[in-house]
Amino acid sequence: MPPILKNVSLNPAVEAFAQQHFEIVTPETMTAEQAAQIEVILSSGKGKAPKALLDRLPNLKMIDILGVGFDGVDAAECRRRGIQLCLTSGVLTADVADLAVGLLISLLRRIPEGFDLVKSGAWEQRKLGLGHKVSGRRAGIVGLGQIGQAIALRLNAFGMEICYYDPHEKDAPYRYFADLTELAAHCDTLIVCAAASAQNAKLINAQVLKALGAEGVLVNVARGSLIDEAALVQALQQGVIAGAALDVFAAEPHVPESLRSLPNVVLTPHIASATVETRRKMADIVIANLQAFMDGKPLPTALKWRD
């Protein structure tokens, strides 16, 4: 069987399908002979495919990704070489939007603290402090793509004023801000759901956090690289902002103790798309792309490069 490369642990359904048709190897176990034959990498949004790896694979034709993020992939090199990137866009939109709203509610209403209070039996000795109202806030969405729009629809049901920042103004019924700092200054809730890239690394910096203000909260369901994590810790410690709810981090799975120890955070382990139903659909898409490649047919979800 021809070799195929995986650079992450695979979804069980994807792994089972690949085992039927290929010899699965990893970057660590791959021989030079195998590298010369490999045409496909099976990956995820957390997978890494830098130029150094791509250079070892002269006949690579496709990277099949279970996820929508590909910031670990040298996309410029893929484009130059005509390597197709296949994503599982669309199917995880609702789950990510649901989690963003769940994180916001958990943070403002202090749900994790309340759970710990009851679970530990300490409710008999002390009460939980007051939380903050969710409805009627001013929400700023960073990145109004599919996920951003799905979040906006959900927040609209809470009677929130919806604004957004995006590199380009969209045809959407929400107020557009061309300047991220101005958006943050206008809002008390900032939700990050933009795609990660080298250009927007640490997009949420100390200046943006200062503009968000002492009553503001930050939610991130995109990528940890979009936030200056050191600046965020400092802002949380010093009361520059009120709190943060994060599903993603700069160096996952490592989360700095300085962030974990803060009382005004809600932290989850990158679970935005982690539902049985959505992961099943994502696996189906990955397998469909791989089957189409094997059959010499157009790849169903190949990324269309922008000029």
User: Does residue 302 lie in a domain region?
Assistant: no
Rounded distance between C-alpha atoms, residue 63 and residue 301, angstroms: 11
Active site residue 132: no
Question: For position 304, what pLDDT does the model report?
Answer: 85
Rounded distance between C-alpha atoms, residue 246 and residue 66, angstroms: 21
* Same domain flag for 177 and 255: yes
* Same domain flag for 49 and 66: yes
* Same domain flag for 133 and 211: yes
Question: For position 306, what pLDDT does the model report?
Answer: 67
Number of neighbours of residue 52 by Cβ within 10 angstroms: 10
* Same domain flag for 186 and 51: no
Question: For position 20, what pLDDT does the model report?
Answer: 96
Displacement of CA 112 from its chain's centroid (Å): 22
* Same domain flag for 141 and 262: yes
* DSSP-derived 3-state class of residue 186: helix
Q: Which residues share a beta bridge with 49?
A: 73
User: Does residue 81 lie in a domain region?
Assistant: yes
* Same domain flag for 258 and 125: yes
Question: For position 18, what pLDDT does the model report?
Answer: 97
User: Does residue 168 lie in a domain region?
Assistant: yes
Active site residue 270: yes
Question: For position 90, what pLDDT does the model report?
Answer: 87
266, containing H or E segment: strand 265-267
**CB neighbour class for 260 (10 Å; exposed up to 12, middle 13-18, buried from 19):** exposed
> For 129-166, b where at least 16 C-beta lie within 10 A, e where not — what string?
eeeeebeebbbbbbbbbbbbbbbbebbeebebbbbbbb
At 285, phi and psi to the nearest 5? Answer: -70, -45
Question: For position 307, what pLDDT does the model report?
Answer: 55
Active site residue 138: no
Catalytic position from the list 137, 223, 229, 279: 223
The pLDDT averaged over each successive group of 10 residues in the chain (307 residues) is 94 96 96 96 92 96 94 93 94 96 98 96 93 97 96 98 96 97 98 91 97 98 97 98 97 95 97 95 97 96 80
Domain that holds residue 258: 93-267
User: Does residue 67 lie in a domain region?
Assistant: yes
* DSSP-derived 3-state class of residue 141: strand
> For 11-39, b where at least 16 C-beta lie within 10 A, e where not — what string?
bebbeebbeeebebbebeebeeebbebbb
CATH number at residue 76: 3.40.50.720
Q: Which residues share a beta bridge with 25?
A: 5
Catalytic position from the list 132, 138, 154, 270: 270
User: Does residue 304 lie in a domain region?
Assistant: no
* Same domain flag for 67 and 106: no
User: Does residue 303 lie in a domain region?
Assistant: no
Question: For position 305, what pLDDT does the model report?
Answer: 74
| Rg of the chain taking only CA atoms, in angstroms | 21
> What pTM did the predictor assign?
0.91
* Same domain flag for 123 and 200: yes
> CA 262 → CA 6, 129, 234, distances in Å?
37, 16, 11
* Same domain flag for 198 and 286: no
Based on the structure, what is the number of domains in the chain? 2
Catalytic position from the list 23, 169, 215, 252: 252
